[in-house]
């Protein structure tokens, strides 16, 4: 069984501490920004499940952000995951590996729909979409 993505969540903030995923204000699907280009304060939280037979192998998680209307790639990120056998694990037990990608350094040049596509070891693993919206100016 290959590694699989069990969680993919856009949030205000996320971190991994002691092997656990901490998420604040998760499930974001719309982000309003007053000025573009913009660097919204967002984090991408993921959990990758590694089956026990793949623990000693290295796995590559690739994340691509793009505007689907033009297929313009906004950014790419790579995360390498490798764990050795876990002591005390039951036969056949897999391990959940939380990962967080800070999206703050990524500059979004315009509003619109953004697709987040995740692959693990070059195999599609999951995706999500969110919208970047301009601030409404009241007159």
Task: Please report whether residue 139 resides in a domain.
Answer: no
Task: Please report whether residue 73 resides in a domain.
Answer: yes
Structural domain count, the chain: 1
Task: Please report whether residue 92 resides in a domain.
Answer: yes
Task: Please report whether residue 65 resides in a domain.
Answer: yes
Provide the 8-state DSSP code for 94: -
pLDDT given at position 108: 97
| Count of other CB atoms within 10 angstroms of residue 64 | 15
Contact 113, 72 (CB under 8 A): no
pLDDT given at position 86: 67
Which residue range is the domain that position 124 belongs to?
A: 4-134
pLDDT given at position 4: 94
CATH of the domain at 18: 2.60.40.2550
pLDDT given at position 90: 74
Sheet containing strand 59-67, strands side by side: 30-33, 123-134, 112-120, 59-67, 72-81
Q: How far is CA 58 from CA 9, 48, 84, in A?
A: 23, 13, 10
In tens digits, what is the pLDDT along the chain, a chain of 139 residues?
Answer: 889 999 999 999 999 999 899 999 999 999 999 999 999 999 999 999 988 877 788 899 999 999 999 999 999 999 998 877 666 667 777 889 999 999 999 999 999 999 999 999 999 999 999 999 998 866 6
């Amino acid at each position: 069984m290959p590694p699989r993505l069990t969680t993919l969540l856009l949030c205000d903030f996320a971190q991994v501490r002691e092997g656990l995923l901490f998420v604040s204000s998760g499930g974001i699907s719309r982000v309003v920004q007053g000025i573009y280009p913009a660097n919204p304060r967002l984090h991408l939280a993921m959990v990758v499940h590694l089956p026990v037979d793949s623990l000693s192998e290295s796995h590559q998680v690739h994340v691509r952000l793009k505007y689907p209307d033009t297929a313009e790639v906004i950014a790419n990120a790579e995360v390498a995951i490798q764990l050795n056998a876990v002591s005390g694990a039951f036969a056949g037990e897999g391990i959940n590996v939380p990962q967080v990608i800070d999206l703050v350094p990524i500059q979004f040049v315009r509003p619109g729909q953004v697709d987040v596509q995740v692959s693990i070891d070059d195999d599609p693993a999951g995706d999500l979409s969110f919208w970047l919206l301009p601030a409404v100016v009241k007159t």
